[in-house]
Structure 1
Amino acid sequence: MTVHGHCMPALLLILFHIMPVAESSKMITGFAGDNVTLPCSYDTRKYGRVAVCWERGEIAVFTCNDEIIATDGFKVTRRTSPRYQLIGDLNQGDVSLTIISAEMGDSGIYGCRVKIPGWFNDLKNQVTLTIKSKYNRPFFFCF
């Protein structure tokens, strides 16, 4: 084995530690029973219509691991539940995820990956969702 063969795994290990996984990160709070939208968009004029996937958990380095919904850039191609919807205008790059009738178990980390062709070009957006009980909503009396 050549010296290059020994260096490649070390180089890849270094790259994985210094590469940012999420280019942007947001925190969203919603209430159980309400529809909740997690934002994600891209510039279709710059990138064209490209595939997008949403996943549960931390955004993986190369692909969507725990994929919950995906699009080919024109229409939804896969979804794990009818509660996951892309209601925005795909033509304009609005790939925000709407969770219909959110449940407490929907709380957690979600990742949106816009699959830009080429190595390490994907746009990544991570969202931390917290779902609260409707009974914890602030209540105001008007007199």
Structure 2
Amino acid sequence: MKIQIINGPNLNLLGVREPSVYGNMDFDTYIATLREQFPNVQIDYYQSNVEGEIINKLHETGFSYDGIVLNGAGFTHTSVAIGDAIAAIKTPVVEVHISNIYAREEYRHMSLTGKYCKGVLTGFGLDGYRMAVDCLVRK
């Protein structure tokens, strides 16, 4: 089984960016732990601050992987194009947000991408990624 994790803008700064919201662990450390928890799953990781690159990665993996975990970060609330890309692929996508987007600024309460996803996990910290992978493995 192959799962692609795609992180959007500013998530390359995990561990140093607003630790009170996002925690103090960087994603490279976290993904090593995640891979240990799912030894029979190939978990690939991609991060970009560029909307078009995220769309390209969805297109690239959206027909050959068994699942995609997407944290679109700020693009969640603004990108019709990423939503269209999710709708266009066959691979199921689970949307993840580290913080609870409904407990934050009002503009973060709307996801333009979530309706095209198998499900949305929000507010569970980095553990949301584990939950998403587990969901995709059990599908």
TM-score strictly above 0.5 = no
* Normalised-by-shorter TM-score class: under 0.3
- The structure in which a higher percent of residues are strand is 1
Larger Rg: 1
- The structure in which a higher percent of residues are helix is 2
